[in-house]
Amino acid sequence: MAIDRTVELSVSGMSCSHCVASVKEELNEVPGVQNIDVILKPNEVSKVTVVTDTGVDDDALRTAITEAGYELVGISRDA
């Protein structure tokens, strides 16, 4: 049985609900992503929480954020 893992992403450049939708759309394309929650902080660093059931590569997450048009400035994972 797979264990859910949480990855916290710090994303800069997001300012509206369209930004949130774009980030969610790209992250949903990453294999293993089960759920995405976004705490939008316009013109600051927003917090994006990704729940996965497998290991998700940092590069895949960074690529998804970049393709959405934003900058990934930090990644932290649960133990």
Domains of the chain, CATH where assigned: 5-77 (3.30.70.100)
The answer to whether 61 and 7 have CB atoms below 8 angstroms apart is yes
Tokens 């759309």 locate to 25
The answer to whether 47 and 38 have CB atoms below 8 angstroms apart is yes
Residues 3-55: tens digit of each pLDDT: 668 999 999 999 999 999 999 999 999 999 999 999 999 989 999 999 998 87
Residues in CB range of 43: below 8 A, 6 or more apart: 15
Residue 51: φ, ψ to 5°: -105, 130
Prediction pTM value: 0.90
What are the tokens at 20? 């949130």
